[in-house]
Structure 1
Amino acid sequence: MAPSEPELLTLTNEDERFYPLLGPFLARREVHKALGGPPFDDDAKTWTVALAPEGTAIGFVGVTRTGALESLYAVPSERDTLYPLLVRAAVRAAGDRALHATVTRERTDAYLSAGFAITAQLVNFDKLARPRGTTP
């Protein structure tokens, strides 16, 4: 880990650190607004969480068992750095399988840089997919 990069953790909602780190984000209106909806802590979802040097969560993204990357969030001051870092880390954690996402446009470039391609454009969102075997 480079000195300027945050520590990245991979967790599920069964990990004892999950709710202390991500709980404060799950019901916050500003997080829901930034995501375009609420993040859900579904069972069997794997989360990649970025930590600040003092150990607080500053960003996260989830991957469902069906291969959906969702709930990409970072505190506003860290978005440019964390979005691509989190997406690439989640892709690595997901392994060699096809992935897909529906994201707000400000997040699209982070997915494109990790091997996703736009499959559809909606009014406020882009749908993206990453074929199996694509390396970020």
Structure 2
Amino acid sequence: MYSSGYSVQTPESGRNPRGKKRKKLDSAGEEILCSVCDIWVMGVPQYQAHVKGSKHQRRTKERSADEVINRMPFMKWDKGTGIHTCEVCDVKLNSSLVVMVHVSGSRHKDNVEAYEAAHGEILTYGKPDDHKISSSTSTSDNI
């Protein structure tokens, strides 16, 4: 692994991580796998350009959001539909980023406080400051 957080991998038998056929590349080039986007890029300059791109940035935020959401005891996810349900607010949310916006809102905060008062239970990840996602665009942070 390089200091900037990427690793160089050689694809086995000409297939990419999803098992699809790969194009033949110049033998002098270095292939780099972006594990966030599950794609191969040719060389460090192309990789650096890739990680600055909007799709990679969005996928990185979604992955970070998913890790935080998985620790929220009140948030349930239906694998079949991909819908998240906030059991405190009884609302359905269609993406990880929408969940993060929801839990940062004042209505959710008020509902969490009411739930905690009524049940005498602290919802560890129920308050907005507990699960802010960094919006840093540094490539080493978003790989």
* Structure-1-length-normalised TM-score: 0.24
The structure where helix makes up a greater share of residues is: 2
More strand by share: 1
- TM-score, structure 2 as length reference: 0.23
**Greater C-alpha Rg:** 2
